[in-house]
A and B are shown apart, each in its own frame.
Chain A
């Protein structure tokens, strides 16, 4: 019988297993790299868009109408920023809270929670003005401002501060977290500076500060 195919293509030729394994492995690796590369645009598409990033511009706020003991909330990058005019009594109570706080000097777990110019006892540039991102460091709720110094259901010895409705975390009048609550850190102080005596700008550091 005449053979139609050359001898070398016949099925009885010995299979080169090493070559087959190599080809299978390299094909799989190259294909895998392709899959990973193709996944990148899809994963990156979940990042904040250019529009979302552009919405993060600085916010300017006049302080003229905020009385002592009052809080004003402004939105910066869609975050609630608390601006509080602390009264002398509230300021006087701050050092007394130290033994009950997780990180009274904001140099432990909360070291990264404020710019260097606000890393002090009052966590502010001027003692009477507290400027703070009003987001609980536990799971991101907005704590309620409970400024009055009177016994509260959650603390019979309350000296004014913040109480988170979500998981009952408590902070003092400088946003410093109390011990024994779920929140791990003091609330965040945003970059800000005073444009003049009565105007604050949130989102920009003071001149000369890092």
Chain B
């Protein structure tokens, strides 16, 4: 009903209302979304949380090597509700990775990266990459001892590149060691440059998705199924409007998620040293390495890969190549996997086993990267075992399994080894 106000608006911005309809009330999504489909909207929720709490943190944070650590303590102790805002930000960072990992695993389960959604997947992977850079730089900002040494180790990854490595590290760090200059530029990147890129990528990710339409647990394209639903005779029969149906469903997910998040924020904000590391409660000191240097949990799997590859030919660059390769391969997944069947429900046994092995290898690498093996292996095999050797043997097998997933998947689908089940015509839960 066009009252005077909406009429005034429509005359001046005639594209707004159709855009809203296209992406909300007339965006038809398959009706059979399950639990795995909560994590996209939850990632958006966490992004909003990070931006909001981040803005308020910058109001009291001092991005200098002399002031950063104290200003974080000031936020925690003296700023009214500062502790809550900071814990929302730090817990949000970890939960961001929880929901993003699950969101990505959903893609693997149901083949959401396959044609015609390659671009959605690649844009999503770019988001993941920017998110990792964002998380790393945010981790450096409190300028605790783990911040400093984390910055040192991660920037040194670039130092392993032959010939230009040393100069490249000095360029990134702006000094001979991570220092004031490093902290300042990481702050600039963390609070403005990367969030802008991230927001743009999220918009593109959603735009690309809405262009081709959402996948679903059956991996069948509802656009190719019968037409005509309750709202539109020309739209897919097995789809429902995103708003209000999925917005309401997602609100349930938001409720559960917020209960979990609130529990962590109020009762276990450091999460036993997993979300906030104990060694980071000590100010940065370039002369004392913490006894154990390990990244926050969401980086540990990739970090373990660096450690598992020995140096040869006089350079340590191979481990770094392997680590970046482990992420680069995910980008290429739509082309590595040539299987025509999308959903794991109808794919061959080989894919199911390979996916399980892939998940196990990722989790094992994460555990090794957390140095938990130093704690558990002696309990299992006795205290006189050679930890370095065991760590390396298990870690190298898991690294091979991680990369083996992609090799196997390529062979399995390109050479036609996969025996798939028949895919139904329509989503299995239609009326």
* Partner-binding segment picked from A1-9, A18-26, A134-142: A134-142
From the candidates A49, A75, A78, A165, name the one contacting B289 in the complex (CB within 8 A): A165
Size range of the chain A interface in the assembly = 35 or more
CB distance from B146 to the nearest CB of A (A): 12
Q: A161-205: which residues lie under 8 A (CB-CB) from chain B? A: 165-168, 180-185
C-beta contact mask, B258-295 vs A, less than 8 Å → 1, else 0?
00000000000000000000000000001111111100
**A57 CB → nearest B CB, Å:** 12
Q: Which of chain B's residues have a CB closer than 8 A to the CB of A48?
A: 170, 174-176, 181
Q: Tell whether A77 pairs with B176 under 8 Å between CB atoms, given A153-B387, A154-B387, A185-B314.
A: yes
* CB-based contact B314/A109 at 8 Å: yes
Q: Are B292 and A184 in contact (CB under 8 A)?
A: no
* Contact (Cβ within 8 A) A184 B176: no
Once the chains are docked, how many angstroms separate the CA of A109 from the CA of B312? 9
Q: How far is the CA of A73 from the CA of B313 in the complex (A)?
A: 31
**In the complex, which residue of chain B has the Cβ closest to the Cβ of A185?**
B314
A 49-63 to B, binary, CB cutoff 8 A, 1 in contact else 0: 100100010000000
The residue from B176, B311, B312 contacting A138, defined by CB atoms under 8 A apart: B311
Chain A residues with CB under 8 A of B177: 77-79
Whether A137 lies near B175 (C-beta < 8 A) is: no
Q: Which residues of B contact A153 (CB under 8 A)?
A: 387
Task: Confirm or deny: A13 has a beta carbon within 8 angstroms of a beta carbon on chain B.
Answer: no
Candidates A56, A140, A168; contact of B388 at CB < 8 Å: A168
A16 partner residues in chain B, CB cutoff 8 A: none
Q: Would B316 and A46 count as touching, CB distance under 8 A?
A: no
Please state if B388 and A52 are interface contacts (CB–CB under 8 Å).
no
> Is there contact, CB below 8 Å, between B174 and A46?
yes
Q: Using A142-B287, A168-B388, A184-B311 as known contacts, list a sample of 11 further A-B pairs with CB atoms less than 8 Å apart, ordered by residue number in A.
A: A47-B171, A73-B287, A75-B286, A77-B176, A78-B175, A78-B176, A109-B314, A139-B316, A140-B156, A180-B310, A182-B307
Residue B159 is within 8 A (CB to CB) of chain A in the complex: yes
Contact, CB under 8 Å: A182 / B316: yes
Say if the beta carbon of A95 comes within 8 Å of chain B.
no
Cβ-neighbour of A79 out of B157, B176, B288, B289 (below 8 A):
B176
Q: For B170, what are the chain A residues with a Cβ–Cβ distance below 8 Å?
A: 47-48
Among A46, A75, A166, which residue has its beta carbon within 8 angstroms of that of B171?
Answer: A46
Would you call B315 an interface residue if the criterion is a C-beta within 8 Å of the partner chain's C-beta atoms? yes
* Complexed CA–CA distance, A109 and B310 (Å): 14
Number of A-B contacts (CB under 8 A): 102
CB distance from B280 to the nearest CB of A (A): 16
Q: Is the interface of A mostly helix, strand, loop or mixed?
A: loop
B positions within 8 Å CB-CB of A: 149, 152-153, 155-157, 159-160, 170-172, 174-177, 179, 181, 185, 286-293, 306-307, 309-316, 319, 386-388, 391
Q: Which residues of A sit under 8 angstroms from B171, Cβ to Cβ?
A: 43, 46-47
Residues of A contacting B176 in the complex (Cβ-Cβ under 8 angstroms): 48, 52, 56, 77-79
Q: Residue A108 at the B interface, CB < 8 A?
A: yes
Q: Does A80 count as interface, using CB distance less than 8 angstroms?
A: yes
Q: How far is the CA of A127 from the CA of B316 in the complex (A)?
A: 29
Minimum CB distance partner of A81 in chain B:
B287
Q: How far is the CA of A116 from the CA of B287 in the complex (A)?
A: 27
Contact partners of B287 in chain A: CB under 8 A: 73, 75, 80, 142
User: From A143, which residue of chain B is reached at the shortest CB distance?
Assistant: B289
* A183 adjacent to B152 (CB under 8 Å): no
Question: B174 contacts A49, CB within 8 Å?
Answer: yes
In the bound complex, how far is the Cα of B170 from the Cα of A165, in angstroms? 24
* A165 touching B152 in the complex, CB below 8 Å, given contacts A47-B171, A49-B181, A78-B286: no
Residue in B157, B179, B292 whose beta carbon sits within 8 Å of that of A139 in the complex: B157
Q: A48-B175, A49-B174, A56-B176 are in contact. Are A141 and B311 (CB under 8 A)?
A: no
Residues in B whose Cβ lies below 8 Å from that of A166: 149, 153, 289, 293
> Are A182 and B156 in contact, CB atoms less than 8 angstroms apart?
no
Tell me the complex Cα distance, A109–B289, Å: 26
Min Cβ gap B144→A in Å is: 16
> 6 closest pairs, A vs B, by CB?
A109-B314, A184-B311, A140-B156, A142-B289, A139-B156, A166-B293
Task: Give the distance in Å from the alpha carbon of A25 to the alpha carbon of B313 in the complex.
Answer: 45
The distance from the CB of A13 to the nearest CB of chain B, in whole angstroms, is 38
**CB-contact partner of B293 in A46, A56, A73, A141, under 8 A:** A141
Task: From B175, B286, B319, name the one whose CB has the most chain A CB atoms within 10 angstroms.
Answer: B175
How far, in whole Å, are A7 and B399 apart by their CA atoms in the complex? 74
Q: A46-B174, A47-B171, A80-B287 are in contact. Are A137 and B316 (CB under 8 A)?
A: yes
Report how far A62 CA is from B171 CA in the complex, Å. Answer: 34
User: Which residues of A lie under 8 Å from residue B185 when comparing CB positions?
Assistant: 46
Chain A neighbourhood of B157, CB < 8 A: 139
Residues 61-96 of A contacting B (Cβ, < 8 Å)? 73, 75, 77-80
Bound CA span A46–B156, Å: 16
Tell me if B152 and A140 are in contact (CB < 8 A).
Answer: yes
Question: Nearest chain B CB to A171's CB is how many angstroms away?
Answer: 14
B158 to chain A, nearest CB (A): 10
CA distance A138 to B303 in the complex (A): 13
Q: Are the CB atoms of B316 and A138 closer together than 8 Å?
A: yes
Query: Once bound together, how far apart are the Cα atoms of A109 and B313, in whole Å?
Result: 8
Which residue in chain A gives the minimum CB-CB distance to B304? A167
Task: Assess the B311–A78 pair: CB atoms within 8 A.
Answer: no
Q: A154 touches which one: B159, B174, B290, B388 (CB < 8 A)?
A: B388
The answer on a CB contact under 8 Å between A139 and B388 is no
Interchain CB contact under 8 A, B307 and A141: no
Shortest Cβ distance from B64 into chain A, in angstroms? 14
Contacts of A138 in B (CB 8 A): 156, 311, 316
